[in-house]
A and B are shown apart, each in its own frame.
Chain A
């Protein structure tokens, strides 16, 4: 693995290996001394063109736990807003000797450009690009699902196993969601059956070719499929319309927040319809009362906080596999 740009970069074996590595990383994090010397002398740059405190902190923690030097580069004025161009930023990082660049960008494909334009020689990790991909989010989601739905008492991580046969519902703003795109690909690769649930206005034209089913009716999906995991996507305030400023249109994608919540929100009633073992997921940050009610977010089935913790282990695994693959793990 040279870069991690898209969930589609991973085949089944690579994905399982990554999850197994993440499990080993997670185990080290139970120790009193959490820091590993693995990436000592390596430099990881967090290049964030878009605000995302949680993702940045997660990557920063992961890199530091592996003893890498971390440079946080917040470049909010990209060439889109006539600041320094992506190219010049990349050349600067190259000059600083970055071994890996973790990039978050509002433009779809920006990490792909970084990796393939010849501007930098370092490994590129996509930490979310526009409405394209967020592969480490999908990996941490898969990791969380495997622990809860595949692992056994003897092997809580489900080491070596994929997600074959699991049913996953992903609900909400699929159109603008890089999390949904990455999860559809990765979960399919791992053998799970994904159903996207969204109002028709929030399903991309062209999504019929994706490796998943699509439904407009959340109640039907819960009742008929009895999903093992349900993932609620964040609904951005600016998609609700009314003010004429919504991207890609000018009017809202749905009539009102109330109507959205009635049809697609995870409330106590829908929570009760889920099978007993089902887990509730959300990539965060949540809009409580919109796509997810407090009842659901705070229920024992919610694994939302655990997703955050697993994010560090997964990102450790990604950095490890990209930067230290030639070395032995020191543990």
Chain B
């Protein structure tokens, strides 16, 4: 299907940080490795001198806000997926809290088509659990599952499915098509008007507190519900030490639960709220240093399965104001891998194989996009789809918000020096990023039949 793409020979790459080898990408797959790759490359192959670059399977984000339809002033499918490619991603799951909400087959197919036409990454729409994210009535989950978008992940993200009966029904219902409910765990009554993590800092700066228990209570309830009905639960962006403990307990009990942490919860703390700069206002809120330590440990020991960016672009006017008036959220697609390298690899807690697991194979598996011709998150082996990300792990770069590709600039890392840079991204053998720059105007992905 990608027969028109010229072959690429990636020379001297280190798959998952291991020994250097060559990879030949041809016909959309990894055609050969090592000596055979060089021998088979032929004169027509484009040679990428990638000496020492770490090769990872294309990254998969289970938690992206692309904002289209509805808030194209903050991000579009095209700008967001281009940013994703620059961040090393080959697939993203687009959250449902758009306007209109992605709660029908029509909207999810629209987003899916926009993603296919843009061509930067595979876009897998997430379907809303409830009509209009209102938490009252199940959306047509089956119709979305059986649409062209083949939705498998359902989430009211931004809102919590707080009604225990609705949550139970949703967990049960998606079993029919191997779906998963990705819960935004936030007890609404305990967090009404909440602005930041409730603790020492909130007490001092006078911003309404968001207690850890508001997250943990929902997670505890949901893992028990998942156990009771024998269904699959994914916990979005957990952020507290207590949440990690609950997931650890649930997994030890054999409950089918997976968990996600964002890059920013691996690095930043509530101390940043002292600046009152709404760039640090995010949902769930930045927590304490002890929580950061706990989520790092949870990610390293496998309690937390994946890193999801929760890329949440917002216009300048939604952030250029007083804290209480600002929107929740920060961008993350273009910085995620660097943050994971900083927080997990350079601290000696994770290998590059672990990074490939938490940023590619595990999220692809949870989203059920790890099989078939367009499979994501596969090993870097001969015959597998040629979704490959090359990382210069020695690079250091200073984040310039204006230089990022996202249509919004609400990164919390402006001016910060980060470790590691994505040099190239290949989507089924076709480069979307080369030399750290986007490869413009990629042809639409042919076919679209899945």
Q: Which residues of A contact B (CB under 8 A)?
A: 78-80, 85-87, 105-110, 112-113, 116-117, 129-133, 178, 181, 204-207, 209-210, 247-250
Contact = CB atoms under 8 A, between A and B. Distances in A.
A250 B204 contact: no
Interface residues of B, number: 28
Given A204-B203, A205-B203, A248 B208 contact: yes
Contact of B204 (A80, A113, A206): A206
A69 to B, nearest CB: 27
Interface stretch (B225-233, B319-327, B399-407): B319-327
Given A248-B193, A248-B209, 11 more contacts: A87-B320, A106-B324, A107-B322, A108-B206, A109-B276, A117-B320, A130-B207, A130-B324, A204-B209, A206-B198, A206-B204
Given A248-B193, A249-B192, A210 B322 contact: no
B201 interface: yes
Interface in B247-305: 275-277
A129 B208 CA distance: 13
B440 interface: no
Nearest to A119: B320
A130 B205 CA distance: 10
| Chain A CB within 10 A, most for which of B194, B323, B324 | B324
10 contacts: A105-B322, A108-B207, A108-B323, A130-B207, A130-B324, A204-B202, A205-B199, A207-B203, A248-B193, A250-B189
B192 A206 contact: no
Contacts of A107: 322-325
Contacts of B275: 112, 116
B317 interface: yes
Given A112-B276, A248-B208, A250-B192, A86 B321 contact: yes
B205 A210 contact: no
Contacts of A250: 189, 192
Given A204-B209, A205-B198, A110 B322 contact: yes
User: Which 4 pairs, one residue from A and one from B, show the smallest C-beta to C-beta distance?
Assistant: A109-B276, A132-B206, A206-B203, A204-B203
Contacts of A204: 202-203, 209
B200 interface: yes
B179 interface: no
Contact of B323 (A85, A109, A209, A248): A109
Interface string B301-338: 00000000000000001001111110000000000000
B80 interface: no
Contact of B322 (A109, A131, A133, A209): A109
A109 B275 CA distance: 8
A85 B209 contact: no
Contacts, number: 98
Nearest to A177: B206
A113 B277 CA distance: 7
Nearest to B208: A248
B325 A209 contact: no
B321 A79 contact: yes
Contacts of A249: 189, 192
B276 A113 contact: yes
B211 interface: yes
Task: Determine the main DSSP class of A at the interface with B.
Answer: loop
Contact of A206 (B201, B276, B325): B201
A130 B320 contact: no
A103 to B, nearest CB: 10
Contact of B192 (A78, A108, A248): A248
A86 B319 CA distance: 11
Contacts of B203: 204-207, 209-210
A79 B200 contact: no
Contacts of A80: 322, 324-325
A112 B205 CA distance: 11
Interface string B211-224: 10000000000000
Nearest to A208: B200
A21 B354 CA distance: 63
A118 B93 CA distance: 37
Given A109-B276, A112-B276, A130-B206, A206 B322 contact: no
A109 B198 contact: no
A82 to B, nearest CB: 9
A85 B192 contact: no
A116 B320 CA distance: 12
Contacts of B323: 107-109, 113
B322 A205 contact: no
Contact of B320 (A85, A112, A129): A85
| Chain A CB within 10 A, most for which of B194, B203, B207 | B203
Contacts of A109: 205-207, 276, 322-324
A181 B325 contact: no
A78 B321 CA distance: 10
| Chain A CB within 10 A, most for which of B206, B208, B323 | B206
Contacts of A130: 206-207, 324
Contacts of A206: 198-204, 209
B275 to A, nearest CB: 8
A79 B195 CA distance: 16
Interface in B373-426: none
B188 to A, nearest CB: 10
A210 B321 CA distance: 29
A102 to B, nearest CB: 16
Given A205-B199, A248-B192, A250-B189, A131 B206 contact: yes
| Chain A CB within 10 A, most for which of B200, B204, B208, B275 | B204
Nearest to A106: B324
B205 A108 contact: yes
